[in-house]
Every structure is written in C-alpha cells, then in structure tokens.
Amino acid sequence: MFKVTVGKKILIANEEYAAQNQRFIAEHKKVCLNMISSPGSGKTTILARTITEMRGKIRIGVIEGDIATEIDAERIRAAGAPAIQINTEGACHLSAAQISEALKKLAIDNLDLIFIENVGNLVCPSAFELGETAKVAVLSVAEGDDKAVKYPAIFAKAKALLINKIDLLSAVGQVDFDIEKVKGDVHKMNHDIKIFAVSAKTGEGMAGWYEWLTLTMKVTTPGRTTP
C-alpha cells in the first residue's frame, strides 16, 4: 500500500509539469510526439530517416532520453536536426520536469514538430505524461508478436504504432512474426490507433507514417504555415 500511495504522489507531481508543457506546446502551435518502445526497436533510426526525408516539409527537433551516453543525440544531429540529450542516470523513464527544461533549451520557434525519444523501456514511460500531443509506440519484429498482449499499456494509449524492422521478415523468413495477429491484438485495446509496418533501415512502408505525421500536424496546428 505504501508503494502505491507514494507512486500516486510522484505521478501527480509529474502531471502538473506535464500540464504546463502541454500549454506551452499548444500556445506555441507545435506538435510534440512521445516515442516509446523497448531498447533497440529502432526509435533513433526511425527519427533519423524521418528527419532526412521530411526536410523542407516539417522542421523537426528531438529531445533524447537515455540512462547514459550522448550516442542518440549525436545520431540525430548527424541527420541534420537539433537535439537535446537528457541522461536519466539510472531512471527508467523521462519526467515532465526534464522535458520542461529541455523545451527551454531547444529553440522551438524554428521548429514545427518536437519528438521526445523516451528511455528504451516498454513499461514505465507509458505511465508518465510529458505534456505531449500524442504517444507513438514502436515494436520491432525481432521482439516477437506476443508483446502487445504481454505489455499492453503503451499499445492501449498510443495514437500510432510503427512495427519496425520488417526487412528481417522478408525472403529469408528468419524472424517469426505475424503482423496481422499484432494488428488484431492492438486494435482490440485501441480502436483508433494507426499502425504502420515499416523498415526504417530500407525505407519500406515509411510513406504511410509521413502521411500520418503531415495530417497530425495539420489537424493539431491548423494555423501553422509550413517552412
């Protein structure tokens, strides 16, 4: 009981910061997407390709969350977008207070879309609101097609799901993963989620994701003029 009560207090403190962030993002007419997945599902590769292929259409900035290292922020900068690296020093998720600080450091006036790449963890980040416009889940086919039912929280909350690394399914058939089963499992918990089967490595299937991003930008910030 002790743990549950305390957990609630931490969540309430976090939600106050999250509400502030949400107001800040809305007032500045920006869109902010919180990407959540296991470690190694390919979040950074998806972001790097999206930054490259959306150049001239959507101005993207990234807040990177990791336990340690600046590896991901460096990959994002190499792809041509500004990135702020947060090191949680052991914590298993980003907090809204950390995002509040990072948003101040990112020159958001020059951006349309801010991605938050959360700490690689399919569990904890889904419980902590950051003030984002929407959550986006990523699942690699190498992780197995039972993950949506085993770790339901993020799949129930996300507005979009990228099933990544479909290049591993192809001709060789090395990975057993039933995309239709996962789509069915996820739609049972979440009617409105959009699901894209992609390979961020080869680019296959990414066009649908870019269309969704473009539509989400239009719907969320109707007054915005593209660069």
Binding site for its own copies (CB under 8 A): 2-3, 6, 9-10, 13, 38-41, 66-69, 71-72, 90, 92, 119-124, 127, 140, 142-144, 146-147, 149-153, 165, 167-168, 172, 174-175
Joined tokens for residue 210: 């870019």
Q: Quick one: DSSP state of residue 127?
A: G
Q: How far is the CB of 149 from its own copies (least distance, A)?
A: 5
Give whole-number Cα distances, 157 to 46, 81, 187, 192, in Å: 20, 27, 11, 10
Closer CB to its own copies, 12 or 107, in the complex: 12
Identify the burial level of 20 via C-beta atoms within 10 angstroms of its C-beta, where 0-12 means exposed, 13-18 middle and 19 or more buried. middle
Contacts of 175 (CB under 8 A, 6+ apart): 141, 142, 165, 168, 169
Q: How far is the CB of 197 from its own copies (least distance, A)?
A: 16
Q: How far is the CB of 83 from its own copies (least distance, A)?
A: 15
Joined tokens for residue 66: 């990791």
Q: How far is the CB of 90 from its own copies (least distance, A)?
A: 7
Closer CB to its own copies, 52 or 170, in the complex: 170
Closer CB to its own copies, 34 or 140, in the complex: 140
